[in-house]
Structure 1
Amino acid sequence: LPTPRRPWLPELRETYNTASIRWRKDDSRLLLGIRDDPANQRQPAVFYEPDREGNLAVYGTGGAGKSAALRQVAVAASLAAAETPVHVYGLDFGSAGLRMLEALPTVGSIITGDDEERIARLMRELVATIEERAERYAAARASSITEYRELTGHASEPRIIVLVDGIGAFRDAYEHSTVSPWFTMFTQIAGDGRGVGVHVVVTGDRYNSVPTSLGSSIQKRLVMRLAVEDEYLNLGVPRDVLDQTSPPGRAILGDDEMQFAVLGGEANITTQAREIERLGTFLRDRGVVPAPPIRHLGDQIALADLPPVVSARQRDGSSVDLAPVGISDRTLSPFGIRTTGTLLLAGTPGSGRTTAMHTLARAVRRQRPGRVRVLVAMRPVPQLTAETWSTTAYGVDAAAELCRALLDDVRSGAADERGLALFVHSAAEFAMTAAENDLVALVKEAAGRGHFVVGESESSTWNQAYQVAQPFKAGRVGLLLAPGDSDGDGLLGTGLGRISRADFPPGRGFYIRQGVAEKIQVALPTAGDEG
């Protein structure tokens, strides 16, 4: 006799292969796994619908499968990317469980929790994207990215999904920091992103790992095995569905159980990584456009790799030529400065002041090769190589004599033909010397007539050299390397907020002009940087 059919479905399997589950691959319905529906004797697929549900949180203790759940979201989004483009980014505050996702072209970057620079860059880019999209979507009268694509025909507009493995650790590291507003920005992204196709998927190990400010923006919650029974009640799910024997990836959806799928159908991490690599190769062969990565601001930038001149548009619509001296932290593109007036160069010992002065002089030469470049210093400086300068003066007497001669040229207009760029090394050392009055007179006259004057000194010495410092401070233009919290206010009347010195390798600092500060990495003078 044939075996009689069981009147009930078998229990959920411990693993399901993502590739074996049939679903319409669309970024508006991302496959999560299989749900057990005993009331209706069904085991249907479970989906995350970002347009409707917004953001997703997965709760579970260590080993419950939270990282694998995030990987499944990324895999499902990637499988849909051939039809509906998706960009995925990850913040990994766990045990590097998201790193393997970087093999997918749809994944721009997986950023570790201690990489504040790239976390900050991602947060700023997402906020800017949401603001820019909000205007476009409102103009198109679209309430979701799916509607926007349909109404405008812009099918290439990518949905953006941000994965956070360990939201509690993210919160602990950045929520209460006076230096870093990144968790606050993340909460803003979660609240404002759904209508413009930007969504967050987070994991937490307990109910209160997600603060109220963020929890109000999370519409869908899945609960895996938890360490404490009371946590199930806190999360509003039955506490008798899962126990310590529940397999990784098992979760509670409503009152039912579900099992997250994994690519390859095996819990083994090595197998999953191999299958994700294969999927990445397949997607690239299909022509899926890679998501842009979140880049680092390097600390070894050659001046020769920058253009000799960049143009900037002014408020009146005209353009002005600038001399590139480094890379902007905000745009990661060449950063140029005006080479007129004064520039106060300050920093702590070891911050790279002398190298920065050398770079500034080389940048002036690249911008205007014929410009006269003058170095005034108390003594020869080995790093400031002789071929950089048209003229040098070392010591008080030589400095005073040269300053008087240059002052005559500036006043007579003789210096105008080629232009003058004056560099004063360790400027504070000239205070209370026989050269002070001549130097200050030259600085004021040259800057006032549109020449370029750079004064360099250690941050703590500027306030001890009132006369020498006065024209540089009055200009309110400067480059502060590895500044202290009060250096911006004290030297150039521009607050910089709380600053972490660990974020400032040699050559990194703020360029300040008329109250606006921009973080930059100063380039290194190298052979072949003549232009």
Structure 2
Amino acid sequence: MDGTARAEAHCQPCGGPAPRRVRHGRPARPADRAPLKFDLDRAGHLHIIGSPRSGRSQTLRTLAAALGQAHGTDNVHMYGIDCGNGALHVLASLPHCGAVVDRNQTERLGRLLDRLGVELTLRQSILGTRGTADRAELRRSQPLHERLAHNVLLVDRFEVFEREFSSYDNGSYLERLLRLLRDGAGVGIHVVLAGDRVLASSRFSGTTEDKIVLRLNDRQDYSTVGIPSKSAPSDPAPGRGIRTQDLSETQVAVLGEDLSGTAQAEVLAALGRELTEREAAVPAARRPIALDVLPDRIAYTDALALHTPAGPMRPLVAVGGDTLTSLGPDLTGVPTFVVAGPPRTGRSTTLLTAAE
């Protein structure tokens, strides 16, 4: 990518009015250097379309960095679904990011989609109750400390997600994501999909008009994503793209002089440490929902460190929850507790843990 293009966004102190738009690139023609911006109050979803190694992951990281710099954690909450080689994992260092979920973490991925689905339903109910036309009108009518945050879900290598989850659990994972695409933009839930020509499918293409097309290995694919063959580039550089709205060329910004993936991740991690300090005063209730990883195994001493006994008859049995905490029955209120399952599933261990 062009090392002279930088992600630009002005830092905004938490609690103040945040700028609507963030810069994540610029038009490539020298005569037109106005920054490429993503306006949260006006934009819906964004599709980043390109072949592998065309700059899709870098676009997501640049956008996340720009959003983090420009907005407080009380105004923007980010989540990531990484179906590639782990390029999005560094987003977890940003205080705005609640979770970055790997495609192999199916249970955690389901929790993330469920949480966003519940948030979508809640926001639709609030809009209906208030009688407001859209999220922008609702946000203007709310005090700063009550204003609904923008939720931004970034998905890397969407073609992998579509392939693996179109039939998994009867297609429920893909259907939950499609619901966010259909209804989320109107209530401040934005989905940024980075994928290949699968995004040209009518099932996904109609969810947004905001698309950036990076390099496609097959020139015939440009026409399927809305770019006439005569406007298709012959050999674009990494990060060089075309906006389908006006067919203008763009160059995605990078985060530092060193263009290697490791160096870009280090810059983003350093930004995360800086922003964590900047956002330290934001209360927990205004921060994004955390989705801790549920361990496959946990020692009793480690579980005990998470235990917050509510009384002498609430034994520690397990850990769980979006934010890991101890779980166990309250035998004071309900004196009967059943541990059920076939042999060798952990029934005896559960009783031993409760007895301990």
Higher mean Cα deviation, 252-261 or 332-341? 332-341
Q: Show the 5 A alignment for 1:53-452.
A: 53-82=43-72, 85-155=75-145, 157-178=148-169, 181-206=172-197, 208-209=198-199, 211-241=201-231, 243=233, 245-253=235-243, 254-264=246-256, 266-287=258-279, 289=282, 291-298=288-295, 299-300=297-298, 302=300, 304=304, 306-309=307-310, 325-328=317-320, 333=325, 334-336=327-329, 339-340=334-335, 343=338, 345-347=340-342, 349-360=343-354, 362=355
Find the counterpart in structure 2 of residue 30 from structure 1.
Answer: 22
Alpha-carbon RMSD? 3.2
| Pairwise CA distance, 1:266 | 4.7
| Pairwise CA distance, 1:300 | 1.8
| Pairwise CA distance, 1:310 | 6.8
Q: Is the 8 A contact 1:238 1:255 kept in 2?
A: no
Instruction: Mark the CA change 1:242 to 1:79 in structure 2 (over 3 Å): closer, same or farther.
Output: farther
Amino acid paired to 1:300: I
Residue among 32, 35, 43 paired with 1:45: 35
Structure 2: which 5+ runs fail to align? none
| Pairwise CA distance, 1:237 | 0.9
Report the secondary structure of 2:194's partner residue: strand
**TM-score scaled by structure 2?**
0.82
Report the secondary structure of 1:51's partner residue: coil
Higher mean Cα deviation, 41-50 or 336-345? 336-345
CA distance in 2, matches of 1:294, 1:344: 26
Q: Is the 8 A contact 2:73 2:95 kept in 1?
A: no
Q: Is the 8 A contact 2:73 2:96 kept in 1?
A: no
Q: Is the 8 A contact 1:78 1:106 kept in 2?
A: yes
Instruction: Mark the CA change 1:301 to 1:18 in structure 2 (over 3 Å): closer, same or farther.
Output: same
Instruction: Mark the CA change 1:150 to 1:84 in structure 2 (over 3 Å): closer, same or farther.
Output: farther
Report the secondary structure of 1:345's partner residue: coil
| Pairwise CA distance, 1:147 | 3.0
Identity of aligned residues (%): 25
Instruction: Mark the CA change 1:170 to 1:146 in structure 2 (over 3 Å): closer, same or farther.
Output: same
Q: Deviations over 1:428-468 (max 9, x none)?
A: xxxxxxxxxxxxxxxxxxxxxxxxxxxxxxxxxxxxxxxxx
Report the secondary structure of 1:178's partner residue: helix
- Displaced runs of 4+ in structure 1, greater than 6 A? 21-25
Considering Cα pairs closer than 8 Å and 6+ residues apart, tell me whether 1 or 2 has the greater RCO.
2
Write 1 or 2 for the structure with the bigger share of strand. 1
Report the secondary structure of 1:189's partner residue: helix
| Pairwise CA distance, 1:280 | 1.9
Amino acid paired to 2:70: A
**TM-score scaled by structure 1?**
0.57
If you compute each CA radius of gyration, which structure gives the higher value, 1 or 2?
A: 1
| Pairwise CA distance, 1:14 | 6.1
Structure 1: which 5+ runs fail to align? 1-11, 312-320, 363-528
| Pairwise CA distance, 1:57 | 0.6
Q: Is the 8 A contact 1:56 1:201 kept in 2?
A: yes
Q: Is the 8 A contact 2:77 2:98 kept in 1?
A: yes
Find the counterpart in structure 2 of residue 16 from structure 1.
Answer: 5
Matched residue pairs, number?
337
CA distance in 1, matches of 2:123, 2:55: 34
Instruction: Mark the CA change 1:273 to 1:330 in structure 2 (over 3 Å): closer, same or farther.
Output: closer
CA distance in 2, matches of 1:22, 1:353: 55
| Pairwise CA distance, 1:243 | 4.2
